Structure 1
């Protein structure tokens, strides 16, 4: 897909049928929050159904929900653009402490969770306001994909991009002092694993 001459998607294709969906970025952030909440599965299904504007696909069989969640995951990650989805990778433990607190053993995960929308909201809002003159608190509408593209395009000097760097950078080749500083920052801005949504969580939320 080429966004220069193709419209951003307004539907999900499920079992060969197009289903119109809500596309505003706020609703997809809210959707992610819903997935990690302690709502009962039936209420999550009701929330999911409300993301569809007209017909609702099969949400009540294992095969049906699997097809829906595959499409949801693809839409969330901008898969059609082959987008580098650094913002939804599954977080893995990145450091462990041995018996000596000053000595740190570490291992870099293949993917690390780069962004937490609730925690990072002030930094995202301020960066959009400063760099794009867009007020995310009052903008009437912004497509989820546009939001993600603009988020990725923020300058490396923005606080949100620095936070993403601190969470995801490879510390294995750094000098010890720099590595310790990065790991200290990383621990202070990283949410425990159970508090964010992975692709597996998306699939399991309705089971």
Structure 2
């Protein structure tokens, strides 16, 4: 039906209520960015966070539930976004520049709104115009596809590299190596 925001997923003909607030979706994406969690556990974690009672879904329907969850998180039948060889958004890292851009589109502080449907959030996100957040994302998108940056983009990148480069969590081994190297100099 036109204009209806789903608040349940229909799996094998049964409707299962979901937590449709944008904050839940962001928690799911944050979890999925954790390289220490296997894909299998990410799928279960997604279902546990999204569905009000995921234990009600029969084991045989979990694959379909995961597909429906992906459909919901992708915004339903919205046209698919471009695929990039590496991530261009870090929901956690970009929070400080993303929310001001979203607030500008919404005309209010959306973090203070008690509830906002994930698809409403996506709609605001898709309407973000020119500004700091879009400039950061555009540079990351070009870098992800190994495209040459314009002179002004290179200058912006040099000045704001810490904002543009996505910081990845280190494995315990990598962290130990960094700590060892740092201990040699300090």
Aligned match of 2:129 in 130, 152, 155?
155
Tell me, yes or no, if structure 1 residue 81 matches structure 2 residue 78.
Answer: yes
Question: Quick check: 1:57 aligned with 2:52?
Answer: no
2:134 counterpart of 1:166: no
| Matching residue of 2:184 | none
Q: Flag structure 2 segments of 5+ consecutive residues without an equivalent.
A: 171-186
What's the offset of the Cα at 1:134? 2.1
* CA deviations over 1:102-124 (Å, ceiling 9, x no partner): xxxxxxxxxx5332110111112
Distance 1:154 1:46 in 2: 29
If asked which structure has higher relative contact order (CA below 8 Å, sep 6+), I would say 1
Name the CA shift for 1:69/1:185 in 2 (closer, same or farther; >3 Å): farther
1:172 Cα offset (Å)? 3.9
Confirm or deny: 8 A CA contact 2:105 2:124 kept in the other structure.
no
User: CA–CA distance in 2 between the matches of 1:113 and 1:72?
Assistant: 20
Unaligned runs of 5+ in 1: 93-111, 196-207
Aligned to 2:166: 191
Q: Please tell me the root mean square deviation across aligned C-alpha atoms, in Å.
A: 3.4
Aligned with residue 128 of structure 1, among 102, 119, 141? 102
C-alpha distance in 2 between matches for 1:186 and 1:13: 45
Q: Check conservation: 2:29, 2:91, Cα contact below 8 A.
A: no
Q: 1:50 to 1:124 in 2, by over 3 A?
A: closer
Q: Contact 1:24–1:142 (CA<8 Å) still a contact in 2? A: yes
> SS in structure 2 opposite 1:12?
strand
**Counterpart residue number, 1:142:** 116
Where is the helix percentage greater, Structure 1 or Structure 2? 2
Correspondent of 2:29 among 32, 37, 61? 32
Cα separation, partners in 2 of 1:165 and 1:172, compared to 1, 3 Å: closer
Secondary structure of 2:92's match? Answer: helix
The Cα offsets for residues 133-161 of structure 1, whole Å up to 9 and x where unpaired, read as 221321111000110110110112x2111
The alpha-carbon deviation at position 74 of structure 1 amounts to: 1.1
